[in-house]
Structure 1
């Protein structure tokens, strides 16, 4: 049986999220994840299976001035776009679904649950420009492109900034 649960911030769950993230993206998330759990408005959800363990997760928090990614996005958008998208915003930071469990609606369920009780007016996220699977998912869920391309750092591939009006 598969369950969708609010993320417990205990070490066991965080370590399982780290393992899954490494399988999906081939890099570590643990330091960043632990730091993000302390941010205002943090919330996360996991999908687990009794038989197969952690199948996926998503998390985010309120995007605020002074936060690293908020400042990166601020530099990339116009003042009007900032007022529209980042002034009262929930940032979807990560979505990861185990490769063997994709195309089963888990990503959709995780994002839907993550945003369900968010009080912010908008939500933003970034994904790689060439990540067509994620982009199709977000498009189906009503997300729109705010800016493309967005280059977070000289060592990263181009990303797209996407937004969704919530209230």
Structure 2
């Protein structure tokens, strides 16, 4: 038995920050600040899954993608007008998904994605992931996400990404 909760309080945010560092092998401390900033965006939704022992299994969050937002503008540069109208005009931006390595391949990533998107009113959803992140890409493709652009380089980064989209309506 697990608990699915909204991504909301300081204790949960601390657990999310620790998991983020573990999953991404990062010392980045800004995930808390990014979540707090993004929680003010239109359409924000975020969820965590906790075990019965209150151990963080995973989290996901996103929001409505709107002109003027950093990532919206970054992605808009990658699309022709027709693609922009289809994928970014009425779009939910799926920002983060992380599952504790000891809980992977048990359906929790699928559960977090499904929960996050089930009440979204947007026509499409969009995400980016590293081109070589085969487990993530496999998960998204199994949920009918499709590749929109590959490769995609964020701000002259040498790390190639893929832009994926999903029609919601």
TM-score grouping bracket, smaller chain normalisation: over 0.9
2:35 to 33, 36, 42: 33
CA distance in 1: counterparts of 2:74 and 2:161, whole angstroms: 12
Q: Would you say 1:11 and 2:10 are equivalent positions?
A: yes
Instruction: Tell me how far 1:13 sits from its aligned partner.
Output: 1.0
Q: Which runs of 5+ in 2 are unaligned?
A: none
1:46 to 45, 48, 60: 48
Post-superposition Cα deviations, 1:73-102, rounded to whole Å, max 9, x if no partner, equal: 000111111000000000000000001110
Give secondary structure in 1 for the equivalent of 2:46. strand
Give secondary structure in 1 for the equivalent of 2:43. coil
CA distance in 1: counterparts of 2:148 and 2:157, whole angstroms: 22
User: Which stretch has the larger CA shift, 46-55 or 85-94?
Assistant: 46-55
1:90 to 89, 92, 95: 92
Once the two structures are superposed, the pairs formed by residues 1-167 of structure 1 within 5 Å of their partners are 1-7=1-7, 9-27=8-26, 28=28, 29-51=31-53, 53-167=55-169
Post-superposition Cα deviations, 1:38-91, rounded to whole Å, max 9, x if no partner, equal: 111100111101225111000000000000000000001111110000000000
Instruction: Tell me how far 1:137 sits from its aligned partner.
Output: 0.3
Instruction: Tell me how far 1:6 sits from its aligned partner.
Output: 2.4
Give secondary structure in 1 for the equivalent of 2:155. coil
Give secondary structure in 1 for the equivalent of 2:23. helix
- Kindly report structure 1 stretches of 4+ aligned residues shifted beyond 4 Å: none
TM score, norm. by length of structure 2: 0.95
Q: Which runs of 5+ in 1 are unaligned?
A: none
Instruction: Tell me how far 1:12 sits from its aligned partner.
Output: 1.1
